Amino acid sequence: MVSMPQKWQLVSWMKKDEQYERIPKEWLLKTPPGPDVTSYLDIPRKCGLLTAEELRITEQYDATALMEGIRSRKLKCVDVTRAFCKRAAIAHQLTNCLTEILFSDALIRATELDAHLASGKTPLGPLHGVPVSLKDTFKIKGYDASIGLAALAHNPTEENSVLVDILLSQGAVLYCKTNIPQTLMALDSHNNIFGRTLNPFNVLVTAGGSSGGEGALLAMRGSVLGVGTDVGGSIRIPAMCNGTFGIKPSWQRIPYAGQEGGALPGAAKVSVPASAGPLAHSVRDIELFFSAVAERRPWELDPDVVPLPWEPLSSGARTGTRRRPLRIGVVKRDGVMEPHPPITRLLDEVANKMKAAGLEVVDMDISPLFSQCQALANALFGVEGGNAMFDLLESMDEPLSPWLSSRLRRKPRLSLDKVRELHGRRTDLQKKFLRIWKDATGQEIDALICPVAPHPVPPIDRWNGVSYTSSFVLLDYPAGVVPVRMFGEKDMEGEMPDTKPLGSWDKANRELWTNFDRSVYMGTPLCVQVVAPKLEEWKLCGVMAAIDKALKGAEIEKPVAML
């Protein structure tokens, strides 16, 4: 007897059919990769669907260069948009990275933007004609923001998220939304409606979450500038997994209003607020994003945003009377999960290159404080007990995805007194952390580097602990990811210390190295995390740019002036 499909299964089939219909037939791959192909990075340039000009546009420009090319009339908005729509379509067929496909609307808008320039008018803003991809949580009028839940599908939103309106007002072309994990609480982007996003570097390892679709799309060069969200590592984890730059700002920097997260209004105010932030191929593109958003005075549109104009470190606007090199701390461990040998060596490697480039480097051990963060963050994440999300799932008889099924369950909401106590502990910890921004001699530390995770990019559904990323959400520090290099043969060397695991998180982490087939890590990105004080995204970008330059072997020309 054939069983009837569940309600959520019917929704999934309809959404997948809708996706397929929105991809022009001439953009469909003729032959899918065979099971022996584990890296998809070269397929777009070899599949024959992209013209030489489309390959040039998608591979040889970052967002800043595209902006300059459009303004100088060397590039047309419609050509740029078509190139990225087509490449995004190819990326999606390979990695399943998209949710909502907006190609038709995007090409119409690009044509209008070209006509705007042709009439002699000035560009709408710094993003005029630049394609921007968005995580599925962002609302775009006329399209779903289902976040991979059957209960929220086939319900087009009636207004844009605040950040969407800002991007459009600055001339951006919005052409797709990207895949996420069910509930937004997993570290591998899989849901029952759209399926799983694959990592184009190696389909055996995770693409990360919850902005995993953004990470995979950028890795495939199907996007030049993407926007994700982060409350536990959801920008930084996909950035690491897919070898891109990415920043989680302090939550008051970038508008978050009007997003779909499956929670009740105001829930984040009693938990830990999420942040919206960029993923890109260069630090200057990340600065372009922050500058473009700040230019529209977002604090007049979202009450949570503080009025802070964007003043990049390189502008000299924050110059004090004393000039000195950047001073960067190196934090190797958090006291919860001991890093694998290649992660520790990577930090040493980056520190040595920073020193060679003229940056001041200070070793820091903040593990007594750092180790207190994850448990407190987890407790605050669970304030609401997941009840709103379970209500949505159960309304369509939708099961939890495999990774979540053993980790997530409905719990009672915490009492007001318990929530107050947790926030009191958070405030106390934030106060204590203020001390880390001066070294033993009382000199200021501008930023610190640490692991994004204690392990390399792990196999699908094997990323468990987020202490290295969620801690900086708890503290509300801006944090970014800088790609360093790929995992190679020598990185497989070394053993974990023969000591008792620090706890259950550390035990699971060690299982990803000891008696483990380390060859799965080959050819996957190795990255470092950079952290700055609260609301000092301008400093974070400056430090990330300096580190990136140092990694490329360039000396920092002159000391950077700091307050």
Instruction: Sketch out the chain's domains with CATH numbers.
Output: 13-300 (3.90.1300.10)
Half-sphere exposure of 276 (CA within 13 A, CB side): 28
pLDDT at 312: 87
55 is in an annotated binding site: no
Rounded-to-integer distance, Cα 44 and Cα 482, Å:
25
* Average confidence (pLDDT) over 220-231: 98
pLDDT at 555: 58
pLDDT at 318: 54
* Average confidence (pLDDT) over 304-308: 97
pLDDT at 222: 99
pLDDT at 3: 79
10 is in an annotated binding site: no
Rounded-to-integer distance, Cα 344 and Cα 342, Å:
5
Residue 563 binned pLDDT confidence (cut-offs 50, 70, 90): very low
The residue count of the chain comes to 563
- Calculate what percentage of the chain has a pLDDT beyond 70: 96
Rounded-to-integer distance, Cα 54 and Cα 41, Å:
16
* Average confidence (pLDDT) over 454-458: 98
* Average confidence (pLDDT) over 198-223: 98
Side by side, which strands form the sheet with 360-364?
98-101, 173-178, 131-135, 225-230, 275-280, 245-248, 479-486, 525-531, 447-450, 327-331, 360-364
* Average confidence (pLDDT) over 376-392: 97
pLDDT at 269: 92
Residue 464 binned pLDDT confidence (cut-offs 50, 70, 90): confident
DSSP string across 267-322: GGGGS---EEEEEESSHHHHHHHHHHHHHT-GGGT-TTS-------GGGTTT--S-
Contacts of 454 (CB under 8 A, 6+ apart): 333, 334, 337, 338, 339, 340, 343, 465, 468, 509
CA nearest neighbour of 512 among 439, 441, 460: 460
Rounded-to-integer distance, Cα 514 and Cα 418, Å:
39
pTM of the model: 0.97
Enumerate the active-site residues.
Answer: 135, 210, 234
Residue 321 binned pLDDT confidence (cut-offs 50, 70, 90): very low
215 is in an annotated binding site: no
Asked if pLDDT for residue 456 goes beyond 50, the answer is yes
Asked if pLDDT for residue 338 goes beyond 60, the answer is yes
Find the DSSP H helices in 384-466.
387-395, 402-405, 416-433
Distances (CA, A) of 427 to 240, 467, 470: 29, 18, 16
Q: Per-residue pLDDT tens for 240-299? A: 999 999 999 999 999 999 999 999 999 999 999 999 999 999 999 999 999 999 999 999
Residue 248 · residue 229 · CB < 8 Å: no
457 is in an annotated binding site: no
* Average confidence (pLDDT) over 316-341: 83
Rounded-to-integer distance, Cα 293 and Cα 172, Å:
11
Residue 319 binned pLDDT confidence (cut-offs 50, 70, 90): very low
**Angle, vertex CA 148, rays to CA 142 and CA 152, nearest 5:** 55
pLDDT at 4: 85
Rounded-to-integer distance, Cα 269 and Cα 251, Å:
11
Amino acid at 264: L
234 is in an annotated binding site: yes
224 is in an annotated binding site: no
| Mean pLDDT estimate for the chain | 96
